Structure formats: structure tokens, C-alpha cells
């Protein structure tokens, strides 16, 4: 698959998918936060991020306002410290806004939806093209839908921007979200062309290793850099298997991933569609020639 040739999913289809995701928020909230959203780890992580942003602002040097008069002496100058904004005022344009439980969850699952096509692609059987969610388009539509669903007014929506990293999710929490999102994608006629990001990283690093052989570096530096690349590959592999695997043996690496790694995306897709996505199990021929 040539990732350069894939297309951004059109705005109208993305809007419809996101609206279905918004409509699923009550179901997801009851699964993710049965004790209430404000008691959840997701809300707390977002509040921690907000507080960190605000604390940095409070600790920053504020501009002093000097009242000067050309006829006065320097001793008459008055230093007036800038009045600090409240937390709510400082984060006014940050999405999701404080105190909007549904929008916090909407923000979280929109990030997961974007992540599904970070390296993988959506396709429809009647269409030979491959599609992905454009991150900036997604962010704009999430804020637009927050207005369309009566959460925030139009003037506020026009100001807002995504700011925070999405909160961490445990395996089952992530599975709940992915399964709901895949059922929505199935409703809209999409299937997944799945690629594993870390296998792609390994292939890229192996290509770098080979290219270094023909570089103009002196022999010592060339060897150092090649050993560094092998170390980077080994760091990826050790996450899945502590035994010694040749970092340049792609067939063995593909076999190891098929034995050791079932991505949450693959598992949730299986539950929603009743079959594995295209691209799983991982095939050596696909990753050898993905560029």
C-alpha cells in the first residue's frame, strides 16, 4: 500500500460518523464511568492537564504596565502588575471546555477515531480508494458538532481549539470505545485496511540500515550508526519478546508479531464485523513492499 495515495475522508461522511459517535455518548459513558464522569480518571486527567497549563501561565512573567508622563520624573512611574485571569477565563478557548462531561468524552473518542487511521485506511467494497481521517478536519467538525448539538454557542465554537493530550485508557476501556466506533463505521459501509505501526517502523529502520551501507560516512561512524539502528529495532522487539531475534530478519519479526501481538483495534474490529480486518494476520509480502 502506498500511503501517499490515500485520500482524506470527505467532510460530509466524517460529519455523519461523528454525529453517530456523539449519539453513542450516553452508552459509552455508562460503561466507562459508572460512578459518574466527574469521578472518572478521564475527567481527572483532563483537569490535571488544564491545571498544568494554568500553573505555567501563573508562573510566567507578566508584563508590567508603566504609566509614563514626559513631564514627570522617573520616580513618578508606577508599576502595575498584570491582573491574572481565572482558570476558566484562561482556558476559555480550549476544547473540551470545563464542566461539559459529554464534550470531554466526545473529545476522547474523536481522538480514538483519528488514531484508527493513523497508519491504517478505510475502504468500501464498491470503491478502490483508501481513506483516512484528517486530524484538522476532525477537530473542526467535533467543535462544530458540539454547537449543532446544543452544547456550546456559535460564537464560542468559532474560537475554540483542541489543546490537550487525550486521557490514558485501560485495555477494556479502549476496547469499549473502539467497538462502538467500528459498529458506526460498519453502518456507513466502511472496512479497515489494517497496518501495524511498529512493524512499519521496523521496516523503515531496516531500510535506513541498508542505506547507511552506501553512505559517504567513514567506516567507524557508519558502523556506529548501523549499530544504533539495530538497537532501535531491538527496543521495539523487546516489548513483545525477550528472546534474541535478529533485528534484520523481517520474516522472523512478522512471525513474532503474529504470535505475540493482537492489537486492540484488531480485536474490536473482530467483535464488530465478525471477521479480521484486511491486513491481519500480518503478511511478509505486504510489509516488504508497502512503499
* Distance of alpha carbon 266 from alpha carbon 262, whole angstroms: 7
User: What is the pLDDT, as a whole number, of residue 123?
Assistant: 97
Query: What's residue 43's pLDDT?
Result: 97
Whole-number pLDDT of residue 75: 44
Per residue in 143-162, pLDDT tens? Answer: 999 999 999 999 999 999 99
How far is 251 from 171, CA to CA, in rounded Å?
28
Q: Provide the grid cell at 169.
A: 485508557
Strand partners, 65: 80
User: Residue 281: is the preceding peptide bond cis (ω within 30°)?
Assistant: yes
- Dihedral angle of Cα 285, 239, 107, 276, to the nearest 10 degrees: 40
DSSP E strands in 42-173: the ranges are 65-67, 78-80, 94-95, 121-124, 127-132, 161-162
Residues present in the chain in total: 291
CB 102 within 8 A of CB 33: no
Residues of the chain with pLDDT under 50: 63-72, 74-78
Cell of 9: 475522508
- List phi, psi (to 5°) of 68: -120, 150
Q: What is the per-residue pLDDT for 66? A: 33
DSSP letter at 125? T
3-state secondary structure of 240: coil
pLDDT value, residue 241: 82
Quick: pLDDT tens for 30-89: 999 999 999 999 999 999 999 999 999 998 865 333 333 444 454 444 455 568 899 999
* The three cell numbers locating residue 77: 512611574
**What letters, b where the CB count within 10 A reaches 16 and e where it falls short, cover 162-197?**
bebebbebeeebbbbbbbbbbebbeeeebbbbbbbe
d(CA 257, CA 277): 16
Rg over CA atoms, the chain: 25
Cell of 7: 485520500
Which residue is associated with the grid cell 467500528? 182
Burial category of 92 from C-beta neighbours within 10 Å (exposed 0-12, middle 13-18, buried 19 and up):
middle
C-alpha span between 54 and 250 (Å, rounded): 47
Q: What does the block give as the cell for 242? A: 525477550
Q: State the pLDDT at residue 63.
A: 37
Amino acid at each position: 500500500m502506498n500511503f501517499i495515495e490515500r485520500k482524506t475522508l470527505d467532510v460530509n461522511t466524517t460529519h455523519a460518523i461523528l454525529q453517530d459517535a456523539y449519539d453513542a455518548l450516553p452508552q459509552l459513558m455508562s460503561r466507562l464511568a459508572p460512578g459518574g464522569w466527574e469521578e472518572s480518571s478521564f475527567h481527572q486527567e483532563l483537569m490535571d492537564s488544564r491545571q498544568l497549563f494554568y500553573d505555567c501561565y501563573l508562573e510566567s512573567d507578566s508584563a508590567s504596565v508603566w504609566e509614563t508622563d514626559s513631564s514627570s520624573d522617573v520616580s513618578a512611574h508606577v508599576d502595575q502588575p498584570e491582573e491574572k485571569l481565572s482558570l476558566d477565563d484562561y482556558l476559555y478557548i480550549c476544547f473540551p471546555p470545563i464542566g461539559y462531561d459529554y464534550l470531554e468524552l466526545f473529545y476522547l473518542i474523536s481522538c480514538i477515531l483519528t488514531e484508527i487511521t493513523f497508519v491504517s485506511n478505510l475502504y468500501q467494497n464498491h470503491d478502490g480508494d483508501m481513506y483516512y481521517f484528517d486530524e484538522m478536519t476532525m477537530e473542526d467538525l467535533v467543535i462544530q458538532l458540539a454547537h449543532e448539538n446544543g452544547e456550546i454557542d456559535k460564537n464560542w465554537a468559532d474560537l475554540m481549539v483542541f489543546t490537550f493530550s487525550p486521557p490514558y485508557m485501560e485495555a477494556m476501556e479502549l476496547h469499549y470505545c473502539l467497538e462502538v466506533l467500528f459498529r458506526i463505521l460498519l453502518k456507513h459501509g466502511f472496512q479497515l485496511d489494517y497496518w501495524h505501526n511498529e512493524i512499519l517502523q521496523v521496516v523503515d529502520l531496516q531500510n535506513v540500515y541498508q542505506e547507511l551501507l552506501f553512505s559517504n560516512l567513514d567506516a567507524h561512524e557508519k558502523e556506529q550508526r548501523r549499530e544504533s539502528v539495530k538497537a532501535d529495532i531491538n527496543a521495539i522487539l523487546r516489548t513483545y519478546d525477550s528472546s534474541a531475534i535478529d533485528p534484520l530478519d523481517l520474516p522472523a519479526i512478522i512471525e513474532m508479531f503474529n504470535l505475540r501481538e493482537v492489537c486492540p483495534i484488531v480485536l474490536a474490529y473482530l467483535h464488530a464485523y465478525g471477521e479480521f480486518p484486511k491486513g491481519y494476520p500480518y503478511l511478509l509480502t505486504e510489509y516488504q513492499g508497502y512503499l
